[in-house]
Chain A
């Protein structure tokens, strides 16, 4: 399309065509070196290590070599890996996607109409759970769920160690307890962007609270919800400290989600190559979740 035909005559030649100057590549080199050296090289090196027999200690610690798809094959035939994979999905969906998002949304919604003292008190508690160091949160939940802890006293079973009998449930609750504040803050900011007139108009039309919530508020909040889901999923997928400090993946392999299993293989069984292969699988899972959310978000956008 010529300049004349496009209706932009009189505005001169397009400026954006001549903006790129090959000599400017030199100015990009320092930042390219930093990104390449600190990000691309470690990632590529980790990808390479996933296909080697590198060990932390032992005969292959110094002299390791490329073993092709041996680690992938081992992973495919490893029942503990598939058990960890299943636990990771349960943990991410149950604790991250459902619990954190639903409780975070409930907190944000109820705080809108709450009396100030209650809003301040509960808000401070929720934020406190979030800002606590992960190791402190792990200790709090360890104490809460152990025999003689608050949970066993509340259920009148003082000898019951819930961390042994319901380990996955307890670590999932601990993760949700710690992460709800993030979702609450995201949704609180999102709810402020919902125009009051739209809600009032629906109210005048006679829509009840739940109808307004599901047909007005949540559709408007959709981009916020998707962003929250993406961040919560990625955060929960990489969760390690909380679970390892509470159970070390046990009892047995009951709480051994993929990051914990990866650590156990790499640093306790010294199989760094295999551990790196598990890390690659984790990256692939995170990528799949991200693609799913981005695709869903793009679908919801007006053309």
Chain B
């Protein structure tokens, strides 16, 4: 059975799921694109942080 959420209430959906009549589609929470985008941003962040390290450490020495 193919349904969209606004058509049915949660209880009805659960009943359908129990009966095995519901086809569940799981969307990926982590995609390769999002992962690589975050990784690139982290690398850029480290690149921006590096020059500051010496000064920060020297100032608290």
Residues of A within 8 A of B (CB): 103, 106-107, 109-115, 118-119, 121-122, 125-126, 128-129, 139-141, 143-144, 149-151, 154, 174, 177, 180, 209
Contact (A110, B58) CB under 8 Å given A140-B52, A141-B51, A150-B51: no
Q: Residue on B with the closest CB to A181?
A: B48
Given known A143-B54, A143-B58, A209-B33, contact A122–B40 (CB-CB < 8 A) = no
B-side interface mostly? helix
Q: When each residue 12-53 of chain B gets 1 if its CB lies under 8 Å from chain A and 0 otherwise, what string results?
A: 000000000000000000000110011011101100111111
Smallest CB-CB separation from B52: which chain A residue?
Answer: A140
| A106 adjacent to B40 (CB under 8 Å) | yes
In the complex, A144 Cα to B53 Cα: how many Å? 8
Interface flag for B60 (CB, 8 Å): no
The CA of A154 and the CA of B50, in the complex, are separated in Å by 10
- Asked if B3 is at the interface (CB within 8 A of a chain A CB), the reply is no
Q: Is the CB of A114 within 8 A of B51?
A: no
Beyond A118-B42, A154-B50: 15 further Cβ-contacts under 8 Å?
A106-B40, A110-B40, A110-B44, A113-B33, A119-B41, A122-B45, A125-B48, A125-B49, A126-B48, A129-B48, A139-B55, A143-B55, A143-B58, A150-B53, A209-B33
B2 to chain A, nearest CB (A): 20
* Partner among B42, B48, B53, B58 whose Cβ is within 8 Å of the Cβ of A177: B48
How distant is the Cα of A140 from the Cα of B42 in the complex, in angstroms? Answer: 21
- Collect the chain A residues with CB atoms within 8 Å of residue B45's CB: 118, 121-122, 125
Neighbouring B residues of A177 by C-beta, 8 Å: 48, 51
In the complex, the 8 A-B pairs of residues with the closest C-beta atoms, listed nearest first? A122-B45, A110-B41, A144-B51, A125-B48, A150-B54, A113-B37, A110-B37, A143-B54
Residues of A within 8 Å of B38, CB to CB, are: 110, 113-115, 118
- State A196–B58 Cα separation when bound (angstroms): 46
Complex Cα distance A111/B54, Å? 27
How far is B38's CA from A266's CA once the two chains are assembled, in angstroms? 49
Smallest distance from the beta carbon of B29 to chain A beta carbons, Å? 12
The answer to whether A150 touches B33, judged by C-beta atoms less than 8 angstroms apart, is no
Give Cα A150–Cα B51 distance, bound, in whole angstroms. Answer: 7
User: Contact at B37–A140, with CB atoms within 8 Å?
Assistant: no
**Contact of A150 with B48 at beta-carbon distance under 8 Å, contacts A110-B38, A139-B55 already known:** no
Provided the pairs A113-B34, A143-B54, A209-B33 are in contact, do residues A118 and B41 lie with their beta carbons within 8 angstroms? yes
Specify the chain A residue showing the minimal Cβ separation from B31: A113
29 A-B pairs whose Cβ atoms sit less than 8 Å apart in the complex: A106-B40, A107-B41, A109-B37, A110-B40, A110-B41, A110-B44, A111-B41, A112-B37, A113-B38, A118-B38, A121-B45, A122-B42, A122-B44, A122-B48, A125-B45, A125-B48, A125-B52, A140-B52, A140-B54, A143-B55, A143-B58, A144-B54, A150-B50, A150-B53, A150-B54, A151-B50, A174-B51, A177-B51, A180-B48
Q: Which residues of B contact A126 (CB under 8 A)?
A: 48
Q: A113-B34, A113-B38 are in contact. Are A140 and B55 (CB under 8 A)?
A: yes
B16 to chain A, nearest CB (A): 29
Q: Are A103 and B44 in contact (CB under 8 A)?
A: yes
A149–B53 alpha-carbon span in the complex (Å): 10
In the complex, what distance in Å separates the CA atom of A255 from the CA atom of B27? 53
Chain B residues near A141 (CB-CB < 8 A): 51
Separation of A107 and B34 alpha carbons in the complex (Å): 14
